Amino acid sequence: MAAVLKKSFPDAEVHYLVNEKVYELISEYSDPNIYKVYPIQKVTVNTVRTICRNNNYDLAVVVYPTFEIALGVFLGNVKYRLGTAYRWYSFLFNIRHYEHRKYSVKHEAMYNLSLLESIGCRIENLPDVHFNIRKESFINLISRYRHKIKEGEKYIIIHVPTKGSAEVWSYENFIKLIEMIISDESLDFKIVLSGSSDDIPKLSIIMKSLGCSKKVVSITDMTLKEFALLISGAEVLISNSTGPIHIAAATGTYVIGLYPHIKTQSPVRWEPLTDKKKIFISDHKYDNSDIMNSITPENVFDFIKFYFNNQKIQKL
Q: For 11-30, write each residue's pLDDT tens digit.
A: 999 999 999 999 998 888 87
Domain count across the chain: 2
| 202 neighbors 160 (Cβ within 8 angstroms) | yes
Give me the CATH number covering residue 188. Answer: 3.40.50.2000
Position 251 scores a pLDDT of 94
Position 285 scores a pLDDT of 59
Phi, psi of 312 (to 5 degrees): -65, -40
DSSP per-residue letters across 162-176 = --SSS----HHHHHH
Say whether both 199 and 225 belong to one domain: yes
Residues of the chain with pLDDT under 70: 284-289, 315-316
Say whether both 154 and 300 belong to one domain: yes
Position 136 scores a pLDDT of 85
Mapping DSSP onto H, E and C, the string for 242-260 reads CHHHHHHHHHCCEEEEEEC
- pTM reported for the whole predicted model: 0.92
| Domain membership flag for residue 124 | no
- Burial label, 179 (beta-carbon count in 10 A; 0-12, 13-18, 19+): middle
% of the chain with per-residue pLDDT over 90: 76
Bridge partner residues of 157 (DSSP): 192, 237
Say whether both 78 and 179 belong to one domain: no
Average pLDDT, the chain: 92
| 136 neighbors 168 (Cβ within 8 angstroms) | no
- Domain extent, residue 98, equals 2-117
Say whether both 201 and 304 belong to one domain: yes
Position 65 scores a pLDDT of 93
Say whether both 162 and 101 belong to one domain: no
Phi, psi of 108 (to 5 degrees): -55, -40
Residue ranges of E strands in 53-106:
59-61, 80-84, 95-97
- Boundary residue ending a domain (91, 117, 143): 117
CA–CA gap between residue 116 and residue 114 (Å, rounded): 5
Residue ranges of E strands in 85-164:
95-97, 155-159
What is the side-by-side strand order in the sheet with 59-61?
59-61, 80-84, 95-97
Say whether both 179 and 304 belong to one domain: yes
- Boundary residue ending a domain (117, 143, 160): 117
| Vertex 26: Cα angle to 199 and 237 (nearest 5) | 50
